[in-house]
Amino acid sequence: MTALLCVPVLVESPEHVEDHLHDVGVAAELGATAVEWRVDPLADPSNPLAASAGVQAVARLLADAPLPTILTCRGADEGGAAEIDDEDRADFLERLADRADAPRPTWIDVEHAAWVRSDRLRAVVSRFLAPRDADERSSRLILSAHDFGGRPGDLWQRIEAMSAIEACAVVKIAWTARSLRDTAEIAEVLAHRSKPTIALGMGPFGTPSRVLAARLGGMLTFATLGDGRSTAPGQPTIAALVRTLRFRSIGRATRVYGVIGMPIEHSRGPQLHNAGFEAIGFDGTYLPLPVDEGWESFKATLATWLDEPRLGFAGASVTIPHKEHLLRFVAESGGRVEPAAARCGAANTLVVDEDGGLVADNTDAPAIVDSVRAAGVDPVGCRVLVLGAGGAARAAAAGLAAAGARVRILARTPARAQSIAEGLDGAAGDGDVLAMDVKVVEADASPTAEGIDLVFNATPVGMATGEDPGGDPLPATVELGARHTVFDSVYAPLETPLVARARSARARVITGDAMFIGQAARQFEAWTGRALPDAAIAALHGTG
């Protein structure tokens, strides 16, 4: 069974009732199946407009909501939006309970601590839990506990205490996740529930627990309409949840993939892979999986996710700053490291096979070679100038040299170029290539077009979000012409200053999307056994 998808709406003034009802109609069309009316500001007695018209506004919101409703009224001490105390809330809810024209909300949410602390609040809320007449459906009580500081030390005791209260129909627990490891504990909480339970991580590290609610057995997740309208950190938008992340298709057997890195929000992997899963009817979802930099964070997170079968973790794309960590992790765990990954000293693909065995691969290098061949260029004997000496440069040098190219690396930090060359030069290549040929271009040498057939940009120069979006990393001494090929790995934007220069020189151009799609297609095939469908590429280009 899928989880409810609830859109939270903070009602700041009675004047906004029509707008809110309209928004919830939009949310329902997008896929929301419940609405939470967060009415904290209307219960504030110092707000004159709210005091006179607040209760009437809520009556209308409950009567005309197109979806099942949660009514919530929190004080600032509980993460709410108004400085109100238990008496203010009890007063407000009592006036609402008295109104004959106010239908009962489907659920009423009260913080567990307030329920225990305030006799009056308990008495007032209990009125919502009993039907006024035989035809009316009474509300069900959600008892909740939030911790904005992190995982509560008494997590399990709190859950037990809420579950033990007879009036409690639903237990809700939410805390600020400090890392993706919290998702594993949320899975455990949901697996051991004795009542319907909502368990969510707040903040960026909590988002997977929100997306995977249905897989983990959660009753409900929250998602916003966007535009800063979230009521807790880390809530995804409904559109992202339903359209991109396949929320409606996620069930107890869904395989979970993702892109591990930091930062990760701008990755286009979720659009591509999820559209591919959708097109071939594969029961999977692909999420952004942020992991703090450093080997220890990576190792601890990956180990936790692999050890928790309830998460259904089946593989990942891995990007900056963790590609070398993935290689090390799989090697140290006794998994299989594919030759392309060993050659690059870095892996971008993790496959978790049916019996838990791990495979690390590097699909960047073969994707670069495939893209070059697809453009009609034979790598054998091709004289390549690689610009930059980071991960993409290493993948380009390793892939193209193994395929028979003569690679020269030009980098602003020659020592990094030297380390790439030392690792590859003279090592065995693929097929007929007996030894790879990879050398460093001296920093003070001015390269000319003579000895170059193909330029590969592996620096972020030209990237819209980088430090030098208007820059061109190729020295002016290289006069491009029609016999050259320019491969720019930057893919946002596709038309970089270097690409423009190549086009005006009538050089052959390979844009960064070729590499991005190529490496992703190989990952998709490794996970699903199927080719990446065209629909996935269309989704990436926004034409799907």
Contacting positions for ligand NAP (CB under 6 A):
320, 388-393, 411-413, 416, 458-461, 463, 468, 473, 489-491, 512, 515-516, 519
Is 323 tagged catalytic? yes
Q: Which residue's CB is nearer to ligand NAP, number 6 or number 536?
A: 536
Please identify which of the residues 172, 299, 323, 439 carries the catalytic annotation. Answer: 323
> Which two structure tokens, joined as six digits, stand for 284?
């999977």
Nearest approach, Cβ of 411 to ligand NAP (angstroms)? 5
Q: Which residue's CB is nearer to ligand NAP, number 118 or number 317?
A: 317
Instruction: Name the DSSP class of 378.
Output: -
Looking up tokens 């073969």 gives 366
Nearest approach, Cβ of 286 to ligand NAP (angstroms)? 16
Contact 223, 9 (CB under 8 A): no
Q: Which residue's CB is nearer to ligand NAP, number 52 or number 413?
A: 413
Q: Which residue's CB is nearer to ligand NAP, number 134 or number 415?
A: 415
SS (H, E, C) 248-302: HHCCCCCEEEEEEECCCCCCCHHHHHHHHHHHHCCCEEEEEEECCCCHHHHHHHH
Residue 15: helix, strand or coil by DSSP? helix
Position with the least CB separation from ligand NAP: 390
Nearest approach, Cβ of 239 to ligand NAP (angstroms)? 25
Q: Which residue's CB is nearer to ligand NAP, number 171 or number 392?
A: 392
Nearest approach, Cβ of 362 to ligand NAP (angstroms)? 11
Instruction: Name the DSSP class of 16.
Output: G
Instruction: Name the DSSP class of 425.
Output: T
In whole angstroms, what is the distance from residue 234 CA to residue 39 CA?
21
> Which two structure tokens, joined as six digits, stand for 514?
């070729």
Nearest approach, Cβ of 473 to ligand NAP (angstroms)? 5
Please report which helix (H) or strand (E) contains residue 538, including its range: helix 534-540
Contact 215, 251 (CB under 8 A): yes
Nearest approach, Cβ of 461 to ligand NAP (angstroms)? 5
Helices 512-528 and 269-280 sit at what angle, rounded to 10 degrees? Answer: 50
Q: Which residue's CB is nearer to ligand NAP, number 393 or number 402?
A: 393
> Which two structure tokens, joined as six digits, stand for 142?
């959600």
Point out the residues that are catalytic: 323
